[in-house]
A and B are shown apart, each in its own frame.
Chain A
């Protein structure tokens, strides 16, 4: 018997249909899992934002807690965020582009990092014309 002859004898049409059905089922399952993950992620983000809103606005039990990027606090931040704060200590105020020049990282990375620090309450930002400046209050 020539090699591959057995494979030729089987009808490929039926196998392809079955395979497609299986793939559709699998994709549907993945899709529903992704929906669940997106829903969970949304809940987690909402909880984090609520927590940050409480500690920065002081709406939680009337207590005002102002976050400060002091050196001990910096130790607990991820290295990428810490680097941005360190540069701001040096430059006093800076655009994402200024930060990127100092850290040798991408402007987009610095923008994301600085904006995250603003959301966390460690930095402030102000707009002057078309430029946005980040600073430590």
Chain B
């Protein structure tokens, strides 16, 4: 696991990427690992809201500053572990949600994008060797755009989160075939917000759904997480992995964690 970089990606928005990324990071940290969770969705930042309870001081350095070469990654990471009383340490790299910052990150030159990828590639050794980070999770923007594919190509593995919506599935098929396979990047699929009735499905029936999806996507499916109304309605500033560790959503995610450790 040491130094592993995992990108949480999707073909379209609204699949639950941030929910998966934050709870995955919190689960690893509660197991004693040191984790860095980076918000690489510079157009629609969300981690500031999620960790708002855990941040005491106003944020001085954003992840935008690191990518723009105006600060180090150490400066851009906020330690949120104390607030959540975790066994390991959890650092959050927050994207600036200000309109000016979002506008500033859009429409950058190709040379800037090349420099951004170099920065992301260089993160690995700094986080692992200098900061003792065991696992880094990138919460990416959806689809094929610079911010998301820069994150994907600089990671070791991508978890593509999808719902059963046909638009999502078609989108995943497309990005797997036209992007991941072209770059020879490893990717696994996580099905989220699946029909509530799957909660009472037998293992055989769930396996049948996984087999169908794997045949259609030609990539492994590492989990099926049913749709839970209370999860969808929960305050975005709450971390289920910390506040409701016995929630069935977390039990499903725990299976994903175990599978990811062996990939």
Contact = CB atoms under 8 A, between A and B. Distances in A.
Q: Please say whether chains A and B are actual partners in one complex.
A: yes
A70 B153 contact: no
B121 A82 contact: no
B interface, size bucket: 10 to 19
A86 interface: yes
Interface of B: 109-111, 113-114, 117-118, 121-122, 146, 149-150, 153-154, 179, 182-184
A72 interface: yes
Secondary structure of the B contact surface, majority rule? helix
A16 interface: no
Contacts of A92: 118, 122
A121 to B, nearest CB: 12
Interface in A8-59: none
Contacts of B118: 89, 92, 136
A74 B144 CA distance: 13
Interface residues of A, number: 17
A68 B182 contact: no
A82 B182 contact: yes
Contacts of B146: 70-72
A70 B114 contact: yes
A86 B118 CA distance: 10
Contacts of B113: 68, 70-72
A90 B113 CA distance: 15
Contacts of A69: 114
Given A70-B146, A75-B179, 20 more contacts: A66-B111, A68-B110, A68-B111, A68-B113, A68-B114, A69-B114, A70-B114, A72-B110, A72-B113, A72-B149, A79-B184, A82-B182, A82-B183, A83-B184, A86-B153, A86-B183, A89-B117, A89-B118, A89-B154, A92-B118
